């Protein structure tokens, strides 16, 4: 697993060279932050980023992560909790500091990429891999995103670097290094559990090596697998214990595994809300899914089962639905896995669940390094063959650990669904292997006739694969994917609304709708119109949204607020709030407003249980909780001062 001495490939990079490489990578990332900030590209936090930031706020206030198991990444909100005000973006500058800190981690990842490449193919590969990682646009982009990809990538790359760096350490010293690798893998798994697959695969490889060593009569090797697994366990166990203590549910890390598995593996199911939906390999949410209010789609499961469910039950329900589809059509599922493997090799950073890389790339020059992930991954997978061209089987063995990490991580992603930010954490390791391929192919072309023929044959195969992939991924191909989803303009408008720049937001939304009509964008336009005081226009836009999506609970709730607060029509508001709570039974704010409008109409007996439900569903830090408690007290007394509205 480790090697004594050097790699035999032009020596090793000096510490000063690695430091210079890290500073160069940091400069590129800070340049992107500067350009993006000046151009207004970092316009607030949305979707997963917003959920992480709001969880961080509850942690900072001492409320913990909620009375439920971790819903998304267990660890990332704790990192964000170190930055006060992150949940108030864009009115604070906390996110800029987070991005700058992550830029430093990203620079460290580039140094580790060079270390891995050096262990595999020597100093030239180290320079090539380090510079490529420093400039590779997707890495620069995701290092600045308020998402787990940056920190997960750093920890995963650190673990592989610790596993492959040439060293003669044995015994207790080697055990500490493997313990550190295990801790790094555990932290990476606590950021996104996909890394657990890599940890298991590496442990199996170490176990295989141990048995092989014993068969040869050699001693040693036990100072690797035990510390590795211990390191992973030390990090993961506290999260599992916390889940059990807080919620009583046996969930190892996060509770979103079942829904994510369904999102990437379901077939055309014939029952209820899932009728006729099939997974294309990218994220496909179930109808009515709302990340902000119901990240694990508990409401949909509760509606299907006609009873409240726990997070573990919901996750199991989604998983079982997908497994039923897999069992019903195994060949179709295998074809879907193959499709996802091809998506993993896609040149486009699949733009889902947040602002897309391509949208940023068009607007920020530091992201325009002309290299896409398809070529990186093809070259990376060719690394063991390229190493054998000039170094034989012994040279190819040096690529075992990074290649295993790449393949297993990719397989783990493909078991769920493929998106750019899920692929990003493994790309530094892929860049290290790709650099090794380039250096070894170049060396083979300069070597003897036999090696030159082998190098030319491998190079021809690589070029043929890359060129042939255009038929799959190019315009009109079966796997063509647009580089932008249109969500970015909606996020820009939301940020402008939060800053009080309503007319600018209205212009942004109208321009986005002119290019692509979308109910969510139209709902955002309605919010901006109302904020700007254009009530009639806002009412009309909400009605257009509800004509298209009659079960849109958020739009029903917001339209109810409009007719209640602006036009003083409580009966109409009540009807809208009732529709909102029927569509989303766990929508706490809708229950509160329904109860408040009933209190205003002095229907106290009806209001009391509704307000009680709102308080049960509300988080401890809900800004309207005190008002709901007052309204509930009034309803229980059967009179008194009516609840005020802001």
Q: For the chain, what is the largest distance between any 2 Cα atoms, rounded to a whole number of angstroms?
A: 96
- The answer on pLDDT for 216 being more than 80 is no
Q: Tell me the whole-structure pTM to 2 decimals.
A: 0.82
On the question of pLDDT at 143 being above 60, the answer is yes
The pLDDT assigned to 220 comes to: 60
Q: Where is pLDDT greater, at 424 or 513? A: 424
Give start and end residues of each alpha helix (H) in 248-382: 257-265, 298-305, 311-328, 330-344, 357-363, 373-381
309 contacts 387 by C-beta, under 8 angstroms: no
Domain 550-646 has CATH 3.30.1300.10: no
Cβ–Cβ < 8 Å for 104, 33? no
Residue 542 and residue 555 in contact, taking contact as beta carbons nearer than 8 Å: yes
Name the more confident of 30 and 391: 30
Say if CB 246 and CB 67 are below 8 A apart: yes
Give dist(CA 481, CA 470) in Å, integer.
12
Question: How far is the C-alpha of 549 from the C-alpha of 494, rounded, in Å?
Answer: 21
The pLDDT assigned to 5 comes to: 38
The DSSP result for 457-495, as a single string, is: HHHHHHHHHHHHHHHHHSTTSTT---S--SHHHHHHHHH
Q: What is the pLDDT averaged over residues 113-124? A: 94
- Closest by CA position to 382, among listed 447, 444, 438: 438
Cβ atoms 318, 253 nearer than 8 A: no
Beta-carbon contacts of 304 under 8 Å, excluding residues fewer than 6 positions away, are: 272, 273, 317
CA 188/CA 336 separation, integer angstroms = 27
How remote is the C-alpha of 392 from its chain's centroid?
39
pLDDT 10s digits, 247-278: 777 788 888 888 889 888 988 665 555 655 67
Q: Give residue-wise pLDDT tens across range 316-337.
A: 888 898 898 899 889 999 999 9
Q: Where in the chain is the domain with CATH 1.25.40.10?
A: 550-646
Q: CA angle, corner 128, sides to 125 and 129, nearest 5? A: 85
Q: What's the pLDDT score for residue 98?
A: 94
- Integer Cα distance of 181 and 229 in angstroms: 9
Q: What CA–CA distance (Å, rounded) separates 8 from 119? A: 10
Greatest mean pLDDT among 47-61, 149-163, 285-299 lies in 149-163
Residue 6 structure tokens: 């050097």
Least confident of 7-16, 29-38, 319-328, 454-463: 7-16
Q: How far apart are CA 503 and CA 277, in angstroms?
A: 38
* Alpha-carbon distances of 539 from 51, 551, 574, 586, rounded to whole Å: 29, 17, 16, 25
The pLDDT-based confidence of 180 (bands split at 50, 70, 90) is: very high
pLDDT score for 4: 39
Alpha-carbon distance values, 611 to 38, 427, 463, 607, 627 (Å): 46, 50, 65, 6, 10
Q: pLDDT, tens digit, for every residue of 553-588?
A: 889 999 999 999 999 999 999 999 999 999 888 788
Q: At what angle do helices 222-247 and 171-191 cross, to 10 degrees?
A: 30
Nearest to 154 by CA among 126, 185, 178: 185
Q: What is the pLDDT of residue 352?
A: 64
User: For the residues of 209-226, what is the DSSP string, one character each?
Assistant: HHHHHHHTT----HHHHH
């Amino acid at each position: 697993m480790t090697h004594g001495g050097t790699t035999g490939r032009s020596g090793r990079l000096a510490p000063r060279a690695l430091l210079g490489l890290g500073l160069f990578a940091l400069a590129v990332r800070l340049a992107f932050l500067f350009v993006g900030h000046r151009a207004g590209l970092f316009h607030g936090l949305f979707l997963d980023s917003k959920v992480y930031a709001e969880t961080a706020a509850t942690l900072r206030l001492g409320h913990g992560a909620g009375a439920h198991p971790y819903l998304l990444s267990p660890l990332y909100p704790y990192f964000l909790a170190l930055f006060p005000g992150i949940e108030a973006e864009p009115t604070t500058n906390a996110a800029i500091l987070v991005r700058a800190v992550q830029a430093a981690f990203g620079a460290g990842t580039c140094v580790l990429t060079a270390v891995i490449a050096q262990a595999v193919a020597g100093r030239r590969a180290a320079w090539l891999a380090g510079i490529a990682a420093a400039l590779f646009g997707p890495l620069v982009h995701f290092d600045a995103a308020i998402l787990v990809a940056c920190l997960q990538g750093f920890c995963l790359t650190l673990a592989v670097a610790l596993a492959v760096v040439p060293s003669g350490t044995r015994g207790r010293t080697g055990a500490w290094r493997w313990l550190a690798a295990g801790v790094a893998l555990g932290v990476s798994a606590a950021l996104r559990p996909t890394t657990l697959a890599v940890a298991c695969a590496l442990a199996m490889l170490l176990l295989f090596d141990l048995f092989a060593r014993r068969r040869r009569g050699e001693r040693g090797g036990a100072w690797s697998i035990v510390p590795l697994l211990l390191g992973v366990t030390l990090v993961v166990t506290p999260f599992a214990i916390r889940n059990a203590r807080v919620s009583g549910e046996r969930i190892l890390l996060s509770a979103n595994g079942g829904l994510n598995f369904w999102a990437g593996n379901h077939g055309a199911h014939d029952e209820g809300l899932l009728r006729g939906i099939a997974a294309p390999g990218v994220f496909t949410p179930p109808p009515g899914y709302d990340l902000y209010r119901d990240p694990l789609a508990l409401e949909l499961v509760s509606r299907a089962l006609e009873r409240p469910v726990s997070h573990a039950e919901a996750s199991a329900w989604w998983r079982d639905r997908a497994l039923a589809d897999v069992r019903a059509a195994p060949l179709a599922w295998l074809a879907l896995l193959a499709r996802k493997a091809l998506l993993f090799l896609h040149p486009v950073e699949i733009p889902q669940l947040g602002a897309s890389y391509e949208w940023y790339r068009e607007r920020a020059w530091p992201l325009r390094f002309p290299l896409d992930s398809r070529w990186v991954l093809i070259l990376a997978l060719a690394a063991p063959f390229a190493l054998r061209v000039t170094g034989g089987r012994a040279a190819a063995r040096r690529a075992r650990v990074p290649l295993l990490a790449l393949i297993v991580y990719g397989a783990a992603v493909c078991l769920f669904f493929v998106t750019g930010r899920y692929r990003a954490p493994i790309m530094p390791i892929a860049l290290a292997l790709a650099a090794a391929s380039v250096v070894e192919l170049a060396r083979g072309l300069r070597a003897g006739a036999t090696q030159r023929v082998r190098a030319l044959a491998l190079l021809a195969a690589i070029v043929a694969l890359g060129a042939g992939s255009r038929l799959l991924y190019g315009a009109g191909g079966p796997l063509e994917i647009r580089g932008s989803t249109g969500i970015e303009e909606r996020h820009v408008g939301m940020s402008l609304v939060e800053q009080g720049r309503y007319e600018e937001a209205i212009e942004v939304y109208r321009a986005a709708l002119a290019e692509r009509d979308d109910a969510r964008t139209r709902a955002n336009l309605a919010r901006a119109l109302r904020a700007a005081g254009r009530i009639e226009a806002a009412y009309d836009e909400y009605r257009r949204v509800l004509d298209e999506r009659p079960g849109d609970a958020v739009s029903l709730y917001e339209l109810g607020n409009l007719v209640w607060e602006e036009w003083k029509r409580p009966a109409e508001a009540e009807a809208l709030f009732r529709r909102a709570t029927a569509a989303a039974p766990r929508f706490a704010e809708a229950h509160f407003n329904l109860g408040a409008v009933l209190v205003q109409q002095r229907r106290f007996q009806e209001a009391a249980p509704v307000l009680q439900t709102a308080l049960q569903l509300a988080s401890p830090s809900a800004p309207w909780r005190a008002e709901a408690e007052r309204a509930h007290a009034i309803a229980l007394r059967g009179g008194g001062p009516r609840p005020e509205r802001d």
